[in-house]
Amino acid sequence: MDNLTHSLVGLTASKAGLERLSPATTACCILAANAPDVDLICGLFGDRWTALHYHRGITHSILGTLLLALLIPTFFWLGDLIISDWRQRARVVRFRGLLLASLIVSATHPLMDWTNNYGVRPLLPWSGRWFYGDLVFIVDPFIWMLLGASAFLLTSGTRRQLGIWSFLGTVFTIVVVFGAIAGSRLDHPLILVLVWMTVLISIVVIRKLGYPKNGNRKLALTGLALVVAYWGGLAALHATALNRARGIGTILTANNRETITQTAAMPTLANPNRWLGVVESDRSIYRFEFFLIDSSGHAPPVARFTKPEGTEARVIASAKQDRRVQILLEFARFPFGRMVDHDCLTETLVQFADLRYTEPGRTRGNFSIELPVECPPQP
């Protein structure tokens, strides 16, 4: 998930009662909620493929998350020790309280990252296997609303806090409105804008009316409970979508006498009714988008990618020696490679893509690559 979501989880969890464990708990929780993404620093010491290789790696594993959860309260405790000696005052940080809060909130980061189709590798360094929840799109404005509403009402009591929230509210309102109107991936963008503005205006009115009078952890718990309930609803929809994708895949593969090896149904941006299906067989990979509720009666358009054979397979195998391709294939859930020119004389292009996110030949960040390869000798 995005770091705004992780930060809102840390802030809301603190206000739900963890802040009573020790002074500085709120800051500790926000840091702990984001700490596993420290692996993004690796991108500063390499190219974009370095970032892809290390992101959601060891820091998102069970072992890495535990170590980070221990380090963060330790830094707070040492900082409080230094400051108390310098200012000649009593120490205020309670290490056990911070540690408990850090352990709880740190665990939410890999859990939330698991809910989307990017995946996590919780068993590193012993196993690099990826796990995918396929419940939530990697950016979800509905979770922003659920957690942001309760966090705003509980942490906007001072002018400084209100100023920070006003800035954040303005920025993300622009992002949502512009993204909904300008983006082509949403089926009903005005509905998203209407819901967003309704929630925004409602919490501002509630704040003006003076609610809550004091810190109310029930409000924070309600926000967290609503997120869990939202996940539950999406889990039910995902089960339906996965069955639908399998049904479509069964028909497609039967027509070509293929055997299905794996199927996935993945969420799309801000639309629980629209899903991306990917079905892999022994000879092909099928990619299609479909609606759970569809009154058109038409079958969804399907893109079929036939797995390479013969000369094409040999050319693609040689291209796999490239470091960038190896990193992409290590990450990819549905990797696919193809040769552009089958009648080449000197050099051809080989395209790779992870079909979760894009198709070969389309440029999309770290999820596709195109590189030149020498043609094999012609008989």
Q: What is the 3-state secondary structure (H, E, C) of the chain?
A: CCHHHHHHHHHHHHHCCHHHHCCCHHHHHHHHHHHHHHHHHHHHHCCHHHHHHHCCCHHHCHHHHHHHHHHHHHHHHHHHHHHHHHHCCCCCCCHHHHHHHHHHHHHHHHHHHHCCCCCECCCCCCCCCCECCCCCCCCCHHHHHHHHHHHHHHCCCCHHHHHHHHHHHHHHHHHHHHHHHHCCCCCCHHHHHHHHHHHHHHHHHHHHCCCCCCCCHHHHHHHHHHHHHHHHHHHHHHHHHHHHHHHHHHHHHHHCCCCEEEEEEEEECCEEEEEEEEEEECCEEEEEEEECCCCCCCCCCEEEEECCCHHHHHHHHHHCCCHHHHHHHHHCCCEEEEECCCCCCCEEEEEEEECCCCCCCCCCHHHEEEEEEECCCCC
Maximum CA extent, the chain: 85
> What pLDDT is recorded for position 188?
73
Percent of the chain surpassing pLDDT 70: 96
Q: 167-183 pLDDT, tens per residue?
A: 999 998 988 888 777 76
202 lies in some domain: no
Instruction: Output the pTM of the full model.
Output: 0.92
Domain boundary among 114, 132, 150: 132
User: Would residue 348 count as lying in a domain?
Assistant: yes
Residue 327 counted as domain residue: yes
Structural domain of 363: 308-374
Q: Is 23 inside a domain boundary?
A: yes
Whether the predicted pLDDT of 379 surpasses 60: no
Please indicate, yes or no, if residue 91 is contained in any of the structural domains.
Answer: yes
What are the pLDDT digits (tens) for 212-265? 766 678 899 999 999 999 999 999 999 999 999 999 999 999 988 999 999 999
> What pLDDT shows up at residue 365?
72
- In percent, the amount of the chain with pLDDT more than 90 equals 68
Q: Is the pLDDT of residue 50 over 80?
A: yes
User: pLDDT tens digit string along 68-91?
Assistant: 999 999 999 999 899 888 888 888
Domain limit, last residue, from 112, 132, 152: 132
Q: Is residue 260 part of a domain?
A: no
Residue 60 lies in a domain: yes
Q: Domain end: 98, 132, 166, which one? A: 132
Tell me, yes or no, whether 255 lies in a domain.
Answer: no
Q: What is the pLDDT of residue 369?
A: 93
Instruction: For residues 325-337, give the mean pLDDT.
Output: 95
Structural domains of the chain, count: 2
Q: Is the pLDDT of residue 184 over 60?
A: no
